Every structure is written in structure tokens, then in C-alpha cells.
Structure 1
Amino acid sequence: MLNHPPTILLVDDEPVNITLLECLLRVEGYKTLSATSGIEALTIAETSIPDLIILDIMMPGMDGFAVCQKLREDSNLQTIPIIFLTALDDDYSKLRGLEVMGDDFLTKPFKNNLLLQKIANMLRLQEMRSQQVKQEIKEKTKRQFSAAWNINLALSEKLRLFVPDQFLHRIAPNGVESIQLGNSQEEEITVLFCDIRKFTTICEGQTPSETFQWLNVFFTEMNACIMANNGFIDKYLGDALMAVFDRPESHPQDAVNGALMMQQKIIEFNKGRDKYNLEEPINIGIGIHTGKGIIGALGADSRIDSTVIGDVVNTASRLQELTKHYSCGIIASDSVISQLTQSEYFEVRWIDRVVPRGKQQAQDIYEVCGKSTPPTNKPLMLT
């Protein structure tokens, strides 16, 4: 039922009729509003929105049928129950009342109990319909929310194909909606660059579709090696990739393990290279460096990208380039080698002390040759 006294609008051009109805209805606990013309009734209905209207038909200016028709055309008023209360008793008037969608038709003089019962039933039915509509809206909203939630989950999963979780929790700490230009964190990380040797020459002997096919397989294999060692790929650079390792206190070791696994995967990949129309085996060069970097959202207001900025990135890239000059597969900086833990035995070889291109300070660089069982008290072997 209504949680407030129902308001009934009384419309009749005879004030005495309105007075009689007011006395009858107020005793039953109803609130009343009154109008003596159709125009006045429409104005009051628009401003007060009554729960029910008792409407006379024969009125000067605008009769009750016209008033009812206007009410049914107003989206805010069209569902208000309307009882015609009139001296008219002919079939044409009753039919006209149905045509303009009146809810009931009573002829004067009327029986008080009959009018009161009709009012009570109509208000109760209106409340039931209102509750049903509310429930339908609630169910529809629930379905829409569920659909939106599923879409959001699907989009989030798709977003992870472009932006790894390790980036998201830094640039979107409060969910995807919180991503904004400048969100970032500075921390010590290890960056790995991997490049395919003689890629241009390889592409010359293939169609673009063939190159695209084996590149996707290649990157899938490399990504698996990186993820298996707690890293993530920051970006693909045509024939190269940049990966980040950020596990606290273990990222240099993770990066070296990842690089060695990548080399092993290349051997397996090359065994099946014929199906990709690759005449020569694929070779890669890997550079690894540890240092401070900023992981964040970079770009412009209308276009941002997740990335890593810092000297650690530039140095790792330069070390990868040096693998060509020194003819070796993996080159790591002294900052990487010095932090390798004693839990694993890496075979590394000092190569040179160099000033990488674009740098000013010299640093020792090492070739990572592989792993073996560590001898007692010799966790790291430098040759």
C-alpha cells in the first residue's frame, strides 16, 4: 500500500459537488485537491501529481474527455487512475470514456460505498502495478549491471594482453578507471633486450605473411621463458623485445635465467624452422642491465602508453648491440653479475671494460655462458 495518505484530485465545475466529495473522502483519510475547470485541473496535476483523479465530463471550455486525453499524453501523468463521475448515462459517453482511456465511469447520483470501494481498489491495483514495475526495473538493472560487469571483465582480460598486470598495479592502483598520464613508480629493476640477428635478410626471402606467422610463434616462446622467470614484456619492437624483471632482490637472477631459457628455446624453435620457410637458423642477441627505472604511463592527454624510462633501459639496449661486436649470445653488465645469488651457479666470462655508445662512464661487461652444478663454496665462476 501507499506509505502516505493518497491524494485525490476532484474536478467539477460545481463547487457544491466538490464540497460533498471532499467531506466524504477526508473522513476516509484521503487528501484532496480541487479544480473547477479542465485547464486548472491540468495545471494542478502537473505540479502535484495526484494518486487518483475524479473527473466530471460536462464542464465549460474543456470537457472531461479532453482533460483525460491530455493527461494520457503526458508521460508523467498518463498512468494516474481516472474515474469519470458525471450526470451522463448514455452508451456513447461511456464508450467515449473508454476511448480516452478512463479507468471507470460512474453516474450521478452515486452511492458513497460504491465510489469509496472503487477508489480503494483502484489505488491498491495502482500500487501493485507500481511495485511490479519497480521489480521489473530492479531485475532489468541487475541484468544490465551483470552484463556490464561481464563486459568489464572481458575488457580487463583483453587489456591485460596489451598492458601486463605488473604495469596495471602501478599505473592503475585503483582499477582501470584510475589510469592517467603521469602515474608512475621509480624502483630498481632489471631490463632485458632481445634482438633477432639479420632480420632484414631473413625477411627478404619471405612474404610478409610468412614473417608475421613465425614472429608470433617466436614471441610466444620468448614470452613463456620470460614469464616463467617472473618477468613481463614491456613492448615488442618489430624484430626485438624489451622485458622487465622486478621481483624484489631476485630480478637480476630472474633475468639471467630467463635469457638462458630463451637461448634454449631458440634451439628447439630452429629444429622446426622449415615449416616457416626459414632457410637459416634464427639467432638472437640479449643485453641485460640492472638499475633504477620509472615504470609508468607516458604520452599525451589523448594518447598514453605504459613504458619504462631510465638509464637502465638505454644501457640494456646498448649491451644487446654489443653482442654483435663480441659475437656472443648474452651480455650482462657488472650491476647484474654482482647481484647474482649463491643459490645458482652461472658460468660467466669477463669480456671487456667498455664505454657503451651514448654513455660516458666505462663499465665491465660479461658474457653469460650457461649454468652448471656449483662446486662447494664457489657459487659464481668468472672466467
Structure 2
Amino acid sequence: MKIISLLSLLVFSNLFSSNLYLQDNVNNYDIGEYLYYYIDTTNQLKYHDILNNLNKIPFKKNKNKTLNLGYEWAGKNIWIKFNVINNSKNDIWYIDSQGSLTPDRLELYYKNKNNENISISNLDSLGFHISNGDIKPSFKCLFGNDTTLILLKFNEGSSTPLPLQIKTEEKYRHDNNLTFFIHALIIGAIIGLLLYNIALSLSTSEINYIVYIITLTIFIPQYLMYFGFGKILFPNFSMIILEKIKLSTMYLWFCSYFAFAASFLKLKKYNKTYYHIIIATILIGIILTFSTFSLKNQIAGKGTIFYMFFGIILVYSMAFTISFKHKSSQSIIFSLSGIPFVIAFTIIAVAFFGIIDIFIPVWMAVALLGIQLVLHSFSITYQVEAYKKQNLNALRNMKLESKKNVKLITTFKKFVPFELIDSLNRRDITETKLGDHVEKFMTVLFLDIRNYSDFAETMAPKDNFIFLNTFLNRMEPIVKQHKGYVNKFEGDGFMALFDESVMDAVKCANQLLDKVYIHNYLKRNDVDYKPIEIGIGINSGHVMKGIIGSNTRMEGTVISETVNLASRVEQLNKKFKSSILLSEFSWLKLNKKNQFLIRKVSEENIRGKSRAIDIYELYNNNEDGLSNYNIQEEFKEIIYNYNKFDFKNALKLLSEYINKYPNSLYAQEYLNRFNKQLEILKTSI
């Protein structure tokens, strides 16, 4: 019976099959046009069933260069037969599924040169890939010189076309190595693009880079799965699962690409309807990504082509529309850089559905896709460079504005004491509002030039301004050095505030007086020069700091009886012919009182006070007033020399005095003051 079957097989194979002759001078044959195929709709027929009924089974002649039955018979066993007559000296030939990506099953049946029945499959009995060092199914065959009938059983869940070739071993090895090299080159180029875009994204906040990085990142696994690397990456996954992963990554990649398109084209800015359509398209793609695992491969595979083609037409229609309507440079760049992409996938789609009879080599599709990705990357770079130029111009303008603002703020600080703004717990003056206030214990210092009206009569108005500005400009830094600030200039004087302690205000008063003394010393030989005399009043207590005025005009100020009393204490200097007076409230808060020469001069009834206020004088180097202080004669001699401007002798006597009375704190204070004055004199002369 077997002999009869084999004889029948020989007879009918010669009748129905076109023979493929293998010659020595040819190393590669496309065998699509030599194929006959039969679709087993039951998926029940075995090899022996086909072989025993070869004359009864209605095989159809394949007329194309590749076997592509579309989606109609996806998931069904397709039996393929053809005859090979080996007229070459080569016994070893390879049947290579050259363009096949990841068929679910491919089985080969034939008799080798030793007349042995050979059965080879790309899957093992559990449905896992058999590793053969290739990313696509291929079979090593041993042909004799007689006619060999070859039967193939092919099953593809998503109906990928099956272009078959027969190659010599040398040609197969060469093509296999070349394929791996091309894939490595493409993956390397994509990784290079990815790193390039990552590097550029670090120098800019441009969102297009980030979205494109995601697109390139997803493309790498999608590419590997689509071109059969799944069986190498996941050897323990069944073919049906690998196919689902391939299709899901394809959906996901197009989702990321459409997101990139929406970002790059600025659809949200130019056309919100387009933007919402793309968002809906992306959401559909995400749903299909996860739905793939619960759908049949032929349905999911068909969906990828529809989704891809529909999405591309949609995106590039929008791009062309925006290009013409809004003259958007981004849209024009995107449209031009995507032309290879549109052409490639349009041809792939129409070929896949059998609209045209054409086989697209893998390298061509990949080359077009690679060109598209490179062009898009360059288009983003071009766009970002344009943005950089705009940003540089904007930055220059911002720097100019910043300089103006800094200058404005610096100028504004000269009009408003920012210490007051800080005390109101405001970061800057823009946060202040009418009525802001805070209560705080402070020391208030008033300074006034004695008899300034008489002094000013000798000067022109312009000279008056110059004099006052010069005088106040020299006094104000001393206040800052002692942790205070000038709150208000009042004609020929000012009011200063001290947050920390009374000691700061007292030391400041001494140094203000010393500054005037040095000024008078330097001007003593000028013709018609009148020495400047000042009066200083100090008082401590609670004050209310805040913003007063109207909605259109405001100013920062300090309001309290403490301020009024400080002003009246300063005016008492005229009565006592003194320079520095303190109220009892400041005197009580002053630590280390014996560091200064201080005496009580009076109990004064001051308007607004229900009782008399003790007034204290801080010695002002006036020789006539020394008799009022309980000090040694040696110290009086020091003051005498100091007032005669004999600074060296005064300093020498003061050093001797300190050696004799080391516990005299006021002597130490005077030593510090004298040294500072001598330093000022050295820089002034």
C-alpha cells in the first residue's frame, strides 16, 4: 500500500506541480510561483492524510511571488506543496521563510536523499520555539538528485505573508548574518537617536523631546517583537503569546507616535477639535493594546493595520491642514519629514489586504521607517534651535528688564525702609497693603542739627541741599552699622529705629557725635567755617509700625507716644546745652551703664505725660561739663588734650589711665572711640 501511495505521489506530483530546478550557478530561488496550496478549514488533516489523498485534494496554484491569503483564512492550516529537482552538486539546501515574521506554526515534510521521511517543525510539542540561531523559521534540507515533493503546513494567527526561498548553505549563512547586521544597525541607530534626544532634552524643557523619547523607547521592543526576536527574548513563551505581545506593542507604539504628533503640531493651540480627536484615537489605541490579549490574533492583527492606516491618514491630514491654514512651521516640518512614513505604511496596508500584488522587502519598510524617525528627530532639533534663538532674544530682553527692575528696586529701597517691610512679615513691598501693622518694643533716636536756620542763611538753596545730603549721607551708614535704620529724614535731621537693644542706639549716638567732631576738626581752618552742632534724643518703648495713607498714596511709618517722647527729649538738648540725652525708659533698659559717662540732669514735666520723666545726659566730651561727673583728674586731662585736637597725647594718656584703672569700662569705651576717630582721620587727611 505504501509503495502504491508513493508511486501515486510521484505521478500526481509531476502532473500538478511546476518543478523547481536547482542549478549550480544559482544560489537563491523565490518559490512563490511554484506553490500549490490547500486550506484545511477543519484543522484536522495530518501529513499522511494529505499524502494519501494528494490526487483528491483540490490544491490551488499560487500566482504571486509570495503566499498571502489575507485575513480570510487566518488561524487555519494551509498546506503547501511543490516539487524540487536538484540538478546541482549541492546536497544541502535551506528552505527559508525570508520575509516571514512570526508564524504560529510552520512544518516541513519531505524525503531526503537517503529516502528517509523527514518531518521538521518550528515549534516543539508544547508549542514553544525551537532555537535554530535564526529569528525566522528556516529548515535545513538534504536533497537527492531525484524529484522531491515538499509539503509545508502553515498556520498564522494574524495572516502574515509567507515569502519562501530555497538557498544554498553559503547564501543562507550570508543572508542570516546580513539580517542580524541590519537589525543591529537599525537598533543601534534608534538607540543613538534615543540618546541624542535624551541629551538634547536635558538642555531644554521642550515637551516634544520627552514625548519623542517615549516614542523611540517603545519602538525598540516593538521592532524586536515584530521582526521575530520575541522567540529569542522570550524562549519560554508560546507563539500565540508572542504574537499578542507583538500586536500590543504595535498599538502602543502608534499611540505614542500620535501623542508626539499632537504635541509637535501644537494641536491644542491651533485646533482643539483636532486635539480632542487625536486624544480619542490614542485612548482607543490604549484600549486595543490591552484588549489584544483577549482577542483572536487575526482580529487583533487586522485591527493594527486599520488603526495604523486610519491614524496616519488622520494625523497627516491635520498636519497638512494646519500647514496651509496657519502657516505653522512645525506642521510644515512634520508633514515633509513624514512623507516616507506615509508612503511606506500606505503601501504596506494595501499590499497586506491584497489590493495590489507586491511583496515589500523587510529592509525597504524598515529603511523608510528609519528615515522617518531620523527626519522627525532632526525636525525637533530644528524646532528647538529656533526656540533657543527665540529664548536667547527673550533672555536678553529679560536681562535688560531685570537690570531695570534691579535698578528700580535699588532706587525704591532708598525711599522705603525695607527693614519696616520685613518686620511686617512681607517678602517684598508688593505684598504690603494699607493697614498692615505690627507692635514691637524698639528704641527711637532723633537727631537734629542745632540752629540750622541760622546756619542755612549763609548758603544758597542749592548749597543747602548739597550740605544736607552730604551730612545725612555720612550719618546714615553709622546707624546701619549699629543694627538700626533711618525710618524718616526730617529736613535737618532724621529719626532712626533700633530693634535689638538700647546699647546699639547709645553707641550709635556716640559715633554720630564723633563723626561730627571729626568733620569740624577737618574744617577748622576753613574761612568763615561755623562748626556743626547736633542734638540727639533717645527713648525706648512699644511702637506701632505699619502702613498708613490712602489707597492711592501710602507710606511706612512708626506711631506711638514713644516716638513723640524721643522727639521731645532731643529738643531738651537746647535747654541743657547737651548733645545726647536719654529718657529714663532707655536708661533703665541700658546694660553696663558704667561703660559710659552718664548722669541724671533733670526731672522734666513733658507734655502728654502724667508725671515727671527722668532725663539722663551721655557725656559729649564737653570740657566744661566734666565737673558734673565723678571722674579722676587724669581722665579730665585726657578730655582736655582731646578737645585741643592733640589726639596722640590724649591716646597716650588714655592708655596710661587704663593701665592704672583696668576696671574702668568707660575708659575702654573711649579708647575704642579714639582709635576709630584716628582711623577716620588717617583716611580723610
How does the TM-score come out when normalised to structure 1? 0.66
Match for residue 218 of structure 1 among 454, 462, 471: 471
Q: Is residue 81–residue 126 contact of structure 1 (8 Å, CA) maintained in 2?
A: no
Determine the structure 2 residue equivalent to 1:316.
566
CA drift at 1:189? 0.9
Contact 1:5 1:29 in 2 (8 A): no
In structure 1, the partner of 2:600 is: 350
Higher relative contact order by CA 8 Å / sep ≥ 6: 1 or 2? 1
Aligned twin of 1:52: 319
1:206 and 2:459 are equivalent in the alignment: yes
Which residue pairs with 1:293 in the alignment?
543
Alignment partner, residue 311 of structure 2:
31
- Separation of aligned partners in 2, 1:327 and 1:205: 23
In 2: Cα distance, 1:129 partner to 1:81 partner: 14
Match of 1:5, SS state, is helix
In the other structure, the counterpart of 1:71 is 325
Question: In the TM superposition, what whole-angstrom CA distance separates every residue of 1:24-57 from its partner, at most 9, and x where no partner exists?
Answer: x9686572557xxxxxxxxxxxxx895632xxxx
Secondary structure of 2:597's aligned partner: strand
Describe the SS at the equivalent of 1:338. Answer: helix
Q: Quick one: which of 504, 507, 511 aligns to 1:254?
A: 504
Is structure 2 residue 487 aligned with structure 1 residue 234?
yes
Partner secondary structure for residue 174 of structure 1: coil
Name the CA distance, whole Å, in 2 between partners of 1:166 and 1:68.
56
Q: Which is richer in helix?
A: 2
Q: 1:183 aligned to 411, 414, 436, which one?
A: 436
Measured against aligned partners, the alpha-carbon deviations of 1:269-316 in whole angstroms (never above 9, x if no partner) come to 123447998642111111111111122233222222222111111000
Q: Matches of 2:416 and 2:448 in 1, distance apart? A: 21
- After superposition, what is the alpha-carbon deviation per residue over 1:239-290, rounded to whole angstroms, capped at 9, x for unaligned? 111111111xxx2222122112222221221234479986421111111111
- Aligned AA for 1:284? I
Give the counterpart of 1:130 among 372, 383, 397: 383
Once the two structures are overlaid, the 10-residue window that deviates more, 192-201 or 298-307, is 298-307
User: Counterpart of 1:314 in structure 2: which amino acid?
Assistant: N
Distance 1:220 1:350, change over 3 A: same
- 1:139-174 per-position Cα deviation (integer Å, ceiling 9, x unaligned): 555555555555544444333333344323213532
What CA distance in whole angstroms lies between the structure 2 residues aligned with 1:300 and 1:227?
Answer: 30
Mapped pair 1:284 → 2:534: yes
| Matching residue's letter, 1:52 | A
Any idea what the Cα deviations from partners look like across 1:185-235, whole Å, max 9, x if unmatched?
Answer: 211111111111221222221111211222122112222332232222111
Q: C-alpha root-mean-square deviation of aligned residues, in Å? A: 4.3
Structure 1 Cα separation of the partners of residues 396 and 532 of structure 2: 52
Give secondary structure in 2 for the equivalent of 1:195: strand
**3-state SS, counterpart of residue 480 of structure 2:** helix
Indicate if the aligned counterparts of 1:196 and 1:283 stay in contact, CA closer than 8 A. Answer: yes
The aligned amino acid for 1:321 is Q
Contact 1:50 1:80 in 2 (8 A): no
3-state SS of paired residue (1:205): coil
Q: Measure the CA separation in 2 of the matches of 1:27 and 1:377.
A: 96
* Partner in structure 1 of residue 498 of structure 2: 245
For the pair 1:366 / 2:616, whether they are aligned, the reply is yes
CA contact (8 A) 1:235 1:242 kept: yes
Matched, 1:333 2:583: yes
The amino acid of 2:619's aligned partner reads: C
The letter of the residue matching 2:509 is: A
8 Å Cα contact 1:183/1:296 also seen in 2: yes
**Residue identity in the other structure for 2:475:** M
* TM-score, normalised via structure 2 length: 0.39
Amino acid at match of 2:483: N
- How far apart, in 2, do the equivalents of 1:50 and 1:355 lie? 93
The structure in which a higher percent of residues are strand is: 1
Larger radius of gyration: 2
- Give unmatched runs, 5+ long, in structure 2: 1-208, 216-255, 263-304, 340-359, 622-634, 636-656, 667-685
- Residue type matched to 2:506 in 1? V
Return the offset for 1:72.
5.3
Does residue 554 of structure 2 align to residue 304 of structure 1?
A: yes
SS at match of 1:331: strand
Give structure 1 stretches of 5+ with no counterpart.
Answer: 9-24, 35-47, 54-66, 86-111
Indicate the SS of the match to 1:223. helix
Q: Which shows bigger deviation, 177-186 or 320-329?
A: 177-186
In the other structure, the counterpart of 2:257 is 5
Of the candidates 191, 195, 220, which is equivalent to residue 448 of structure 2? Answer: 195
